[in-house]
Structure 1
């Protein structure tokens, strides 16, 4: 986990002031009803909310507004519950806070979602991508930092993640803080 974040820092230097929001982690844990994986907390304290490669958006975790994790995840999960009631065959996985449910913490500009499958203690949750045009989720192994590092380096190719061409890789390794 630490090596992944160090490698990502080398590839994409973190911002001087990560955009987390004005609340506390305890506020977020209370809102969600659970703690979150330690690697996610460290990742977000390093980079904050923003967009990776202009494509993958990770919501600011401590923002109490409409662009914060609690509001975005709540809105998305509410919409998915309504859709699941009408089209249950499209929803194989439970939705948070159901046991083992999908809890999103970001999305892509194309409507794909990234989050966890919340089975077991938070540090054991599995990262998962929910591609908008696929019937199956992409289950990922490893840390969030490792996933982003492999993706930006062109070493991770799974449904739900933009696939960079070789000539795009040098320019893909970017991070933009919300509001800049």
Structure 2
């Protein structure tokens, strides 16, 4: 069974999930290809969240230095990861290109150091904001998720154990989460959202 098949078993993809991005245009704008397992995951699941804890990001068209950057998303979180790397005292000259693909409610950033010309060889690095320490896991994004769900690391790599060793997990596409919130429904409980309308659309 492949890593993606095991992730599907633990976390079935909901109907209508999956992205339809122009991958060639996105990769051209970032100046790099993305890992194959990540592209397969995004084709099936797309951007969204797991159990209201871990947000997974799809790449947007990358805006170069001096351009207008979105306030959130893969590009902004990638910049945040590089800032955390520099703040850890490694020096700007040593900062590799980091591409963030996930962020959790504990303020951890999950990213790849995009240093190898073959993106399928990029490891996962988890930056814990609490201690500004990066821990490298020599595996791809989908294997990382699977091993997180199955509690196969020496310890939980994230700031909370919400997804550690879970028997099942729920994925909610970002667009569906937004739709439910706009309708005044809590996306994770299905109940009326007591905070609906308090913070704008």
Change (3 A) 1:58 1:94: farther
Distance 1:161 1:179 in 2: 26
Q: How many residues are aligned here?
A: 167
Shift of 1:137: 0.8
Q: Is this contact kept in 1: 2:99–2:114, CA < 8 A? A: yes
Q: Which stretches in structure 2 are left out of the alignment for 5+ residues?
A: 63-69, 177-201
Say whether residues 1:8 and 2:7 are aligned partners: yes
Distance 2:21 2:48 in 1: 17
* Pair member with larger Rg: 2
Q: Which stretches in structure 1 are left out of the alignment for 5+ residues?
A: none
The residue aligned with 1:130 is 127
Scaled by the length of structure 2, what TM-score is found? 0.68
Shift of 1:62: 5.3
Change (3 A) 1:161 1:48: farther
Say whether residues 1:178 and 2:179 are aligned partners: no
Greater relative CO (CA pairs within 8 A, separation 6+): 1
The correspondence of residues 106-145 of structure 1 with structure 2, limited to 5 A, is 106-120=102-116, 121-145=118-142
Q: Is this contact kept in 2: 1:44–1:61, CA < 8 A? A: no
Scaled by the length of structure 1, what TM-score is found? 0.75
Q: Deviations over 1:75-131 (max 9, x none)?
A: 2344566x57xx955253869xx8742111221122211110111121111111111
The residue aligned with 2:182 is none
Distance 1:150 1:101 in 2: 25
Compute the RMSD of aligned alpha carbons.
3.3
More helix by percentage: 1
Say whether residues 1:72 and 2:69 are aligned partners: no
